[in-house]
Amino acid sequence: MRIVDIRETAVPLKSTLRNAVFDFSEMTTSVVAVITDVVRDGKPVAGFAFNSTGRYACGAQMRDRFIPRIMKAPPDSLLNKAGDNFDPEKILACMMQREKPGGHTERSVAIGTIEVAVWDAVAKIAGKPLHRVLAETYNGGKVIDKVPCYVGGGWYQPGKGIRELQDEIKSRLDQGYTTMKIKVGGATIPDDVERVEAALKIVASSANLAVDANAGFDRERALAYAKALAPYKLRWFEEPTDPLDYALLTEVAAIYDAPIGTGENLFSTQDVHNLIRFGGLRADRDIIQTDVPQSYGIAQFARTLEMLKQNGWDRRSVFPHGGNQMTLAIVGGFGLGGCEAYPGVFGVFAGFADDAQVENGYLTLPQRPGIGFEAQNHLYAVMHELVAV
């Protein structure tokens, strides 16, 4: 049993969306295929993944360091003890050879994307959905069939006003979602407060509305938004500051009593540990949003969860960034708080299986082996091209 090839390509998003900090007009995403010599249904098993939206393609690091390290390793050194499947922990360790501690963002996305693709292959070889494999490995075998799911939306776009924002939210509620997250920070505070109040009229409860500032505020604006939004007691106020600005985040938490969500821009267990230790966050209400493929992958994420547990955090306080099939499987497998969704945005990388159903805010987990990309026709066509090369 061996990995015979690892291929990657960059795909442009071609999006006109904008948040408080940047637009997505130049955004690209790396797609990875890990091809094995294991045959299922007459075809070699291939595991797939992509670095979820918000980070540019990272193929250079993959080609220069991480793929060659895996391909040069003795095949048996990458297998589990039984020798009947690959061991993602060993493959992660292989990629981390000769890497200096620290400097996570330069490599964590590239490594994590490959590692998640390995997990897709592992689950396919086992003949199980990835969420079941993860539940058996990391969650005491507690397999669930559906997960809470909220919509990330409310983007700033040309010609999009209050009525269009309300129409967007109504359309998501009609699809079965109950909770919406909208952007703030790309307008003035009075205008954003108006948008929040308009959104609340549609979702009916502050517990069903979150806002996201995309870490775009300096101190003055972060504190001003915290004071302006505090009376609404929203589901959470996401990324009011750079998550590494612990002093400012502590100030925000001191005047914003409702939940704060942050951490999608952190890329290691050490970073998250420092966030909860020095950032003024509260384990009884705040939300951690680590993006798993962007932070070394699933095996390392398991260590992050264990660190959170040791510091009094429940894994149901973790809502990973990234509305895609990968995150859905991870949320279900680890039994986390919930999953994000991006219906209708980010092109082929948005959403879930073509036949996925949302009911009363819950999304049913797919039952096909692996992550389930094969049930996303447009995305799988991009991935399959890598195997066909």
Catalytically annotated residues: 183, 321
Contact call for residues 232 and 199 (beta carbons, < 8 A): no
CA atoms within 13 A on the CB side of 304: 30
Contact call for residues 1 and 38 (beta carbons, < 8 A): yes
Name the burial class of residue 93, with classes exposed (0-12), middle (13-18) and buried (19+) by CB atoms within 10 angstroms of its CB: middle
d(CA 2, CA 73): 10
- Bridge-based pairing state of the strands 43-50 and 28-40: antiparallel
Dump strand ranges (E) for 28-67: 28-40, 43-50
Q: How many other CB atoms sit within 10 Å of the CB of residue 188? A: 9
Cβ contacts of 23 within 8 Å, gap of 6 or more: 15, 16, 17
Cite the DSSP H helix spans in the chain: 59-61, 67-72, 88-95, 108-126, 130-138, 162-174, 189-203, 219-229, 246-255, 269-278, 298-310, 325-334, 377-388
- Bridge-based pairing state of the strands 362-364 and 358-359: antiparallel
Q: How many other CB atoms sit within 10 Å of the CB of residue 201? A: 10
Q: Buried (b) or exposed (e) across 240-261, using 16+ Cβ within 10 A?
A: bbbbebbebbebbbeebebbbb
d(CA 360, CA 235): 17
